[in-house]
Amino acid sequence: MAAPSFTLSSDPAAGGPLRLRLAGSVVLDDGAELWRSLRGAMRAATEVDLDLAAVDRLDGGAAALLAAIASEVTDRGGRMQFAGASPDVARLLDLYDCRRGGRCEKASPVQPGLLDDVGSFAHDAAATTKAILAFVGDLVTGVVQAIRRPRTVHFGELGSLIERAGADGLPIVVLINFLVGAILGLQGAIQLHRFGGDQFLANLVGLSIVRELGPLMTAILVTGRSGAAYAAELGTMTVNEEIDGLRTLGQDPQRFLVFPRVLALLVVLPVLTVVGDLVGSLGGLAIAMTYLDQPTVVYLQSLERAVHLDDVGTGLLKSVAFAVAIGLIACQRGLATRGGAAGVGRSTTSAVVVVLFALVGLDAVFTWIFSLLDW
């Protein structure tokens, strides 16, 4: 490391204040050395005179350090004086001297205590509940008004929303559902083969995919793609005051932004679910053909016997509920965004997490109800 461009010396004097002398160029590049050496030389001294007559250059960073050290001395009940400074040096020190305005602030952030945390959690929970209730209330009002006056709903971007959520998401839905069907098929085939139950593979894969995994996996994929996109898009619009702009134009954000998105998902998710069911079952067929050497027709006949239209219906019913949950939660989280870019990130994360919880919860409720009804 290069030697600092300043020197610090002390004048030994019997009694009286500690006299220190700073000379040369005192700049931020040597700030670490200045901080260490000056504080080291002063130790616990309470009376310090710092002679700056030989300082030929002082920059803002170094002036801030000198001012902070002087403030430390003042805080412990002592005093530190700068002497002999040239007009330029004195002007800089004056600019940074926090003692001008009374006590200097310290850089330690206020750490909230346990009670603060509990209080702010309770406050946030109440505020979030209130916001969700207000959102649902607005939505109900909006639905009534939209039914009475359908032209107030912004259908203009419905087509592109359907394309983005549906057609653009089709490849990933096909791939993931095929793989899930294949994985399920392989695990099932290994176990069934041990007991000579190869012919039940289609039952296992078909029913699992059509009733549970197809709708759920498809909804999870749509959450990751479209739900996150809705939350981020509406969140960015909120922090950019575009939502406020809409309101001042007399447009209801619910009807202008939320309805078209929920509607797009209501159209898209059941269709994607049917596609997911089909390719998931084909994943099982691929395993039946390759692992069990089962003829295609045998697998398909087993599938036809095992899976009925009401099984597909239960999956589609779930997909409709999933679509509403994804659309509403993602849009609500987006519209509730506060803060800048970080707020948008928080909203998007929160939207995905809450939707995933909701999907699994809804799935469990539906499965329980269907089992009670013997569907």
Partner 1 sequence: MGKVLQVRDVSVGYGEPLLEEISFDVQRGEVFAVLGGSGCGKSTLLRTLIGLQEPLAGRVHFTGIGPPARAMEPPSFGVLFQSSALFGSSTLLQNVLLPLQKWTDLPADAAAAVAMGRLRLVGLEPFAHYLPSEVSGGMRKRAGIARALALDAPILFFDEPSAGLDPVTSAELDELILTLAKGLMVTIVLVTHELPSILRIADQCIMLDRDARGIIARGSPKDLAERSTDARVRAFFRRQPLARSR
Of residues 239 through 298, those in contact with partner 1 by CB under 8 A are none
| 86 vs 145, beta carbon nearer partner 1 | 86
User: Which of 7, 13, 36, 155 contacts partner 1 by CB under 8 A?
Assistant: 36
# binding residues, partner 1 (CB under 8 A): 34
Asked if residue 190 binds partner 1 (CB under 8 A), the reply is: no
Of residues 86 through 125, those in contact with partner 1 by CB under 8 A are 88, 91-92, 95-96, 98, 104-107, 109-110
| 17 vs 343, beta carbon nearer partner 1 | 343
Q: Which two tokens stand for residue 127?
A: 């505020």
Among 4-12, 28-36, 173-181, 216-224, the segment contacting partner 1 (CB under 8 A): 28-36
| 29 vs 138, beta carbon nearer partner 1 | 29
| 193 vs 338, beta carbon nearer partner 1 | 338
| 339 vs 361, beta carbon nearer partner 1 | 339
Asked if residue 67 binds partner 1 (CB under 8 A), the reply is: yes
| 208 vs 350, beta carbon nearer partner 1 | 350
Asked if residue 68 binds partner 1 (CB under 8 A), the reply is: yes
**Which residues of the chain form contacts with partner 1 (CB under 8 A)?**
27-29, 31-32, 35-36, 59-61, 63-65, 67-69, 88, 91-92, 95-96, 98, 104-107, 109-110, 338-343
